[in-house]
Every structure is written in C-alpha cells, then in structure tokens.
Structure 1
Amino acid sequence: MHTGSVTTPFGRRSMTLALVKRQVAANEIKPGKSVEKWKVFRDVAEAREMLGLQDRSVAILDALLTFLPTNELRQDGQMIVFPSNAQLTLRAHGIAGATLRRHLAILVDAGLIVRKDSANGKRFARKDRDGDIETAFGFDLSPLLARAEELALMAQEVVAARIAFRRAKETLTICRRDVRKLISAAIEEGAESDWQAIEDIYINLTARLPRTPSRADVDSLLDEMQLLYAEVLSRLNIHEETEIICTNDAHNERHIQNSKPESIRELEPSSEKEQGAKSGRTDLTPRLASTSFPLAVVLKACPQICDYGQGGAVGGWRDLMSAAVVVRSMLGVSPSAYQDACDGMGPENAAIAIACILERANFITSPGGYLRDLTRRWERGEFSLGPMVMAQLKANSGGAVRRA
C-alpha cells in the first residue's frame, strides 16, 4: 500500500523543492479514487508536447505501466513498480541504457512518476507472511492518479487545437483556391482593374507559407488571404456595376455630359488641385482606384491613418484620401509637395505614401522632402509602393485591419 511519505533520491541525484511539492501533491489523493491506467496513459500520450515529453518518454511510461498487475490506479492500492533497467529495456523495445535513464528523469521532471529509492538504490519489494507487498522501492505511479483530471483536460485541449488547426488549413486552402481562380477569371475575361498587381500580392502571400507551417503562420496568412479575397470580390462587383451602367447608356442612346466633374478637391478648399483631380471629367462610370493594392491590405499595413478618417475610420478610397489631407497638414508636408505627388503617382497612391510615412514618422526627419523624393523617383521609374507597403504589412502583421 502507498505510504504517503516524501523520499529523496539515491546517489548523486539532487533533491529540489519542486520534487517535494510533487510528492506531497501525489500523496493528497482523495480516498477511494481510482482510474483506468490506460486511459490516463492515452491522455499523457495526447498531451505529451504540453508536458515536455518525447516519444521515447511515452514508450517508457507505457513499459512502466505494464509492470502494474492491475488495470486500475487506486488510492488504496499498490502503485509502486520496481522493474530493473534490464526488464525496462526489454519492454521498451531494446532502448539503450543511457537513453532509458534520461527519459526516466524526464518523466520525473514532468511530475508523472516519483522515485522511491531504497538505501542502496536497488528496486525491490518486501512481502509479509501472506505474500502481500509490505514495502516497495522503485517508481511511484501515484502522480498519474492524482493528476488524472488535469491530464484529461490537457488532452482535450490538444485535440481541440489539432481540429481547429486542421480546419484553419482547410479554410486557407479553399481561400487560396478561390482567390487564384477569381484572379485568373478576371484576367482572362478582361475585367477592369490592375489584376497583375493583385496577383503579385497573392504570390507574395503564398510564398510566406513555410513548408511546415505553425498555427500562427496559418492564422496570419488566412487573415490576409481573406482580406485579399474580399478585395477581389469588391473589384469584380465594381466591374459588374460598370458594365451595367455602360449597357444602359448604350441602350438609351444618350450621352450625358457631367457638368459637375467628380472630384475630391472640396476636402481641402485652400488647395483646389491638392487632391490631383482632373477637370472636365465627363464619364459616368464609378471611379476606380488606380492603386495596385487592395484597400484592406493598405489599412492593415498602415492602421494609424484610420484615426484621421471621418469618425475615426476609413471605409473607402475617398475616406483614405480625405484622411491623407489631414495627415499631410499634420506632418508639415506642403500643399505643393502633396499636389506633385498626386499628379505624379495618382491621388490614391499619394494617399498610400502619406499613410506609410505616418507609420514611420518618428524615423523621417522631413516628411515633405521625403515625399518629394519619392515622387521624383516614381516619375523616373525607380520607385514603387510595393516594397514600402509590404514592409509595413510585415511590421504590423500582428495588428488587425480597422474597418468603418
């Protein structure tokens, strides 16, 4: 029967307060408690990574349990097994002696077994006149009984995490397939937008997935891939609406001149040309953003710009450009520098540049001069927003996209 005492290890093995605490916890088992030993073993095997165990450690625990004559771990029963190293090696499928000792120590450190060493370190049992075990020295399995509920919960958490991980990978696979085929269909059917740039973003995202991804890798990529999927659908919807408008115009055989060209110059009356609006715009089709990046990706890369949108949010390209005007003034960028950027890059790309500059404002001495330099390099074909946005996206990959 289990004595409930605290013992120290034989020889050079050190004693720690953690070992004392585990022995005390193993002794405080509810009277009458019992559990099927192989059920506990399955829970340990399932939660082995959380417990810091290796496969060999689990194999040795399996071998130890085979030396317990009953199928139950009982509080009022004998739970000390005393096999020799030779017997353990045989039941652990010929494991080397040094490996055996190392993994026994791992099981002790994990709090799954306790050493009950004799005076000379030998493992044996003394029996009374009736043949019952009176005293045993070896490995005490009572921690398995004491921690049975805890081990079961750990196993459930591992199983739930594995299922969630598998579902996340399945969702990512489907999302990647959908984005890939939607982009291909848009390119083949001539949908209006910069689909090559969208495809480049898709390729960059998929290239980040390692051969053996972790749960964090999959979750991060899935989040960005779903944003790209939403942006692709949004652009396809805009294309469909544009086609409907053009078809209706052709059917009615009317040509309506827009007397009030769409512009966003009213966003800052002090600079009529600051937004880069072109006068005399006469088409009635919706204005498509000329940037090569989905808005959702831009907002994830540069989340601070949302604070300067109307109501503290950015819900569209016009909101982003409006926020960029506010940020331009706050950063001390002159209206002429911003106007040159709008003329050279386009108003949407200029707004993206401002958003990126805002993210790195603490590292840029002269935002206005920096924007002028970007504009000149853009016009010479020496600069594109891609690396800048992707660098910010990587820097802020832990953040969430802010929506209106």
Structure 2
Amino acid sequence: MESGSVTTPFGRRPMTLGMLASQFAAETIDDTKSADKWKLYRALCEARPLLGVTDRALAVMNALLSFYPKDELSQAHGLVVFPSNAQLSLRAHGMTEQTIRRHLAVLVEAGLISRKDSPNGKRYVRRNSAGAIDDAFGFSLAPLLARAEEIAQLAAEVVAERLALRRLRERLTLCRRDIAKLIEMAMEEGATGDWEAITLQFRSLAGALPRIPTADDVTPVLEEMEMLRDEIVNLLEARVKTEKMNGNPSQNDCHIQNSNSDSTYELEPCFEKKQEATFETDHEGSVVPIHLERSDEDATARQEPKPVRDQTDRLRVAPEIKAFPLALVLQACPEIIAYGSGGTISNWRELMSAAVVVRSMLGVSPDAYQQACEILGPENAATVIACILERAGHINSAGGYLRDLTRRAEKGEFSLGPMLMALARTNGNSARRVG
C-alpha cells in the first residue's frame, strides 16, 4: 500500500510545485472512489487538446495502464505501477527508452501521474509474508484517478466544440453551394445586378478561411456569406416580381403568328429572313443563318442595324458592330477550326456552323446565342463563340458571359476588336493553316 507521504524525485530531477500539488490531490482521494481505467483513458484522449499532452505521451499512458492489474482504478488495490523502461517500450509499440523517458516527464508535468522513486531510483515492489504488496516504487496513477471528473468534463467540452464546429462547417458548405449556384443561374438568366462584384466578394470570403479552420474562424465568415446569400435572394426575388408584373415573355411569344402556315420557323422570331440570306438547322434543331449572296470580303461591311423586339414588345435598334476579316478571326481563335467541316474553315458559313456546335458543347443556350446574333450579327456572334472557346478554361459560365457581352454591346459598351487583337497576339506565333 502507498504510504501517503510526500516523495521527491531521484537523482538530478528537481521537485516542482506541480508535483507537490499532484501528491496532495492524491492524498484526498476517497477510499471508495474508483473509475474504469479504459473509459478514463478514452476521456483523456478526447480532452488531450485542453490538457496539453501529445499523442505519443498518451501511448505511454496506455502502456502504464496496461500494467495495472485491475480494470477499476481504486485506492484499495493500490495505484502504483512499476514496469521497467524495457517493458514499457514493448507495450508502447517499440518506442525507444529515451523517448519514453521524455514522454513520462510530459505526463508528470501535466499532473496525470506522479513519481514514487525508490532510494536508488529503481522501480520495484516489496511484499509481506502473505504475498500482499507492502510498498511499491514506480509511477503513481493516483493523480489520474483524482482528476477523473475533471477529465470527463474537459472531454465533454471538446466533443461539444467539435460537434458545433462540424455543424458550422455544414452550414458553411450549404451556404457556399447556394451562393455559387444562384450566381451561376443569375448570370445565365441575365438577372439585373453587379454579378462580377458579387462573385469577387464570394471568392474573397471563401479564401479567408485557413486550411484547418476553428469555430472562431468559421463563424464570422459564415455570417458574411449568409448576408451575401440574402442579398442575392433579394435581387432575384425583385427580378421574379418584375417579370410577373410585365407578363411571361415566353407565353407572349406563343401568340406571335405567321400568316404563312407552311413556315417552319414560326416560333423562331430571332432570325428574320432577308433577300440575301437563307437559313438551315443544325443537328440540335437550332436555326443557323447562312449568307449566300455575299463573299467573305463583303462580310466585313455591316448592314444597317435591324430592329428587334425586347421583352415588352417595344421596338429597339441594335447598335452597329463591324465584323472583322475571317483570316484575322481564325488567326486569333484557331481552336474552332477543329470543329469545322472536315477540320477546316474556309468561309463565314463554315465558321457559323462550327460556332453552333461549339455553342452546344460550351453549354450556351440557344436563346442566348440567338440574342447574340440579333445584337452582334451572325458573323460577330460566331466570332465571340470562337473567342470564348479560346478562353474556356478561364470562364466559369460561357452562357452567362455571352449574355453579359450581348447586353454591353447593346448599350454600346463592348467592342470586339480589343478581345480579338489580344487573342491574335497570343496565338500569332502558332496560327494554324486555314484550308
């Protein structure tokens, strides 16, 4: 049995107030108090961040507990274990003795065990004539038993904090997903708002989190993102209310009738026939303008802007945008050549047919492409699709990007020249041969 007296460490190891406090706490343990050593060890592992011990130190503690003969720690069975460093090394998965000594010191400093050194520093047990333990020298587990309730409370706090962090991260994940999909939908549908600025703000918030965030890191970011999501929802709600007040444009289009009952394009008002143009359909059924009576050189001269109708059926005039030479377009955007008939593009008709294929591949809706053809003209719309294909790796939503360029062109704020010339300079050294 333990003598209960204060003991000092052997050799050069100094005595500290922490060691003295652990021994005082051990003396106050009730004789009836007990605790399951493995449950206490699991709680100790949970509370490790708050106790300031390492996982390697806990491995040494596990080895020490394995030398205690009973499953229940209690004063009645003694609380001193006395394994040698060699035996500890075997039960600590081959940890070196030097490392074991270092982690034993960590456990002592943390107040989880205390030393009960013999006069010569050896660990051993002295038994009486009946074979019962009279005295033992080694490591006392009394501080661990004395702090059993405290350790259980710390473990509960760590578990609760981990659960709260997981829920915060779940909310953050859902919020990030909502914002990303709402922005993509808004840009695709052409909703009113500064979506580029909103996207930058969203990316800034997402990038503010460290690699391993804590609850204190996640909480302010989550609050900012929820406010941003509410702002986006309000903008989209205003858009929905406006559309309801103005009527559903798609329903109004159904009442547009053509006196020519044989017309195949009664529900395709975006392309109006002119004397010098005809139309064909691609494999998806989309209408593709094919200019027959003017050469590639004539395509550089734009015709008079044609009137188109907006959602409120009011007549507006698209601003005039000049087309560029086909050779320059292909030099700037060589990627689209592979989508031409036979892998070559030799005229505007083949470029516009290839643009329809690329449009479908990039996920651009037929409505967005038709709108671009109205505003920019068929040649320039095909040129913009070719430019988007060149920059596909840097554009998140090709459809939203095309709609944005179309709106800016309608206001006279977009010029195709700088985009085309920049790509021409980039691809000038590796331009492909045009068949």
Pick the TM interval, shorter chain. Answer: 0.5 to 0.7
Deviation at 1:75, TM superposition (A): 2.2
Q: Is the 8 A contact 2:18 2:111 kept in 1?
A: no
Which residue in the other structure is 2:55 paired with? 55
Which residue in the other structure is 2:226 paired with? 226
Structure label with greater radius of gyration: 2
The CA distance in 2 between the partners of 1:13 and 1:45, in whole Å, is 27
Deviation at 1:247, TM superposition (A): 4.1
The CA distance in 2 between the partners of 1:247 and 1:91, in whole Å, is 78
Q: Is the 8 A contact 1:63 1:91 kept in 2?
A: yes
Superposed, which structure 2 residues align to 1:2-401 within 5 Å? 2-247=2-247
The CA distance in 2 between the partners of 1:101 and 1:38, in whole Å, is 23
Amino acid at match of 2:200: D
Amino acid at match of 1:19: M
SS of the aligned residue for 2:65 comes to: helix
Deviations 1:102-123 (A, max 9, x none): 1000100111100001111111
Q: Is the 8 A contact 1:2 1:77 kept in 2?
A: no
The CA distance in 2 between the partners of 1:120 and 1:31, in whole Å, is 30
The CA distance in 1 between the partners of 2:237 and 2:7, in whole Å, is 74
The CA distance in 1 between the partners of 2:240 and 2:126, in whole Å, is 87
The CA distance in 1 between the partners of 2:153 and 2:28, in whole Å, is 20
Amino acid at match of 1:156: A
The CA distance in 2 between the partners of 1:61 and 1:45, in whole Å, is 10
Amino acid at match of 2:83: P
Deviations 1:253-303 (A, max 9, x none): xxxxxxxxxxxxxxxxxxxxxxxxxxxxxxxxxxxxxxxxxxxxxxxxxxx
Q: Is the 8 A contact 1:205 1:221 kept in 2?
A: yes
The CA distance in 2 between the partners of 1:105 and 1:188, in whole Å, is 63
Which residue in the other structure is 2:270 paired with? none
Q: Is the 8 A contact 1:41 1:62 kept in 2?
A: yes
The CA distance in 1 between the partners of 2:59 and 2:35, in whole Å, is 20
* Unaligned 5+ runs, structure 1: 249-404
The CA distance in 1 between the partners of 2:75 and 2:154, in whole Å, is 22
Which residue in the other structure is 2:369 paired with? none
The CA distance in 1 between the partners of 2:14 and 2:79, in whole Å, is 23
* Unaligned 5+ runs, structure 2: 249-435
Q: Is the 8 A contact 1:6 1:20 kept in 2?
A: yes
Q: Is the 8 A contact 2:31 2:74 kept in 1?
A: no
Q: Is the 8 A contact 1:10 1:117 kept in 2?
A: yes
SS of the aligned residue for 1:76 comes to: helix
Deviation at 1:236, TM superposition (A): 1.4
Amino acid at match of 2:137: F
The CA distance in 1 between the partners of 2:239 and 2:171, in whole Å, is 27
The CA distance in 2 between the partners of 1:164 and 1:241, in whole Å, is 38
Moved more, 177-186 or 237-246: 237-246
The CA distance in 2 between the partners of 1:4 and 1:151, in whole Å, is 23
The CA distance in 2 between the partners of 1:235 and 1:218, in whole Å, is 26
The CA distance in 2 between the partners of 1:178 and 1:63, in whole Å, is 49
Deviation at 1:210, TM superposition (A): 2.6
Deviations 1:189-218 (A, max 9, x none): 111111111111111111222332222222
Q: Is the 8 A contact 2:115 2:139 kept in 1?
A: yes
Q: Give the TM-score, by structure 2 length.
A: 0.55
Q: Is the 8 A contact 1:53 1:106 kept in 2?
A: yes
Q: Would you say how many aligned residue pairs link Structure 1 and Structure 2?
A: 249
Amino acid at match of 2:79: M
